[in-house]
Amino acid sequence: MNTKKICHLQYLSIILIATLWFANVNVKAAETQNYQEVEWIQLMPQDDLEALLNPPDYLADIQDGSEQDSIDAFSGITSEDATTQRFQQALTSVRVMTEFDNKPVRIPGLVVPLKSDEQQRVTEFFIVPYFGACLHMPPPPPNQMIYGKVETGFELAQLTEPFWFEGVLQIETISNTTGTSAYGMSLDNIKAYE
């Protein structure tokens, strides 16, 4: 074998080793993506949070499941009271925190299923901060709901089952009969909450 062929084979070997090494690094980088752990209240403007923490007094008198226990009933209430008006605005706020747009995040939450596949695996859903969201008044505001979609679907044993959701958060408004979200997430991982 001549020297030129040996050099060429060594060169190809180095290229192959480098390619395999970079492929391995890329796989490990994807597995250890730096997700910023986010708390739900970080996804809403501070003044929306303050309004939600200061609800009108009469809300405490509304019983779960009653006619008044709906967003439609509450939205129909007109009031001159600034606290009630600001609370109503915060309940339907699509105002978001733009610094999270296209950021890899990790957030805990529960699932409100929207669609399932033939095997009853959830394929489209809202990620919400607490159990009963979208079922009782007041539901979370849109800036406290994240729309998720997974092609392969996943099994959801109970609605009370919490998960960690990891992926890239986007600002996008998704509405359906169940609710409205002001965020969406391109999901990388759904893991049991620990």
Q: What are the extents of the domains in the chain?
A: 1-32, 40-192
H-only helix segments in 76-124:
82-91
Phi and psi at residue 43, in whole multiples of 5°? -90, 0
- Look at strands 180-192 and 163-175 and give their pairing: antiparallel
- The pLDDT of residue 146 is 98
Percent of the chain with pLDDT over 70: 74
SS3 14: helix
H-only helix segments in 53-192:
71-75, 82-91
The angle subtended at Cα 142 by Cα 82 and Cα 170, nearest 5°, is 135
- The pLDDT of residue 9 is 29
Band (pLDDT 50/70/90 cuts) for residue 138 is: low
Q: Is the pLDDT assigned to residue 100 strictly greater than 70?
A: yes
For the ranges 7-21, 37-51, 61-75, 166-180, which has the lowest average pLDDT?
7-21
List, for residues 34-89, the tens digit of each pLDDT value: 999 999 999 999 999 999 998 888 777 887 777 776 666 666 666 778 888 898 89
List, for residues 64-74, the tens digit of each pLDDT value: 777 776 666 66
- The pLDDT of residue 185 is 98
**Domain 40-192 is found in CATH 3.40.50.300:** no
Band (pLDDT 50/70/90 cuts) for residue 95 is: very high
Those residues with Cβ within 8 angstroms of residue 42's Cβ, 6 or more apart along the chain or in another chain: 97, 100
pTM: 0.75
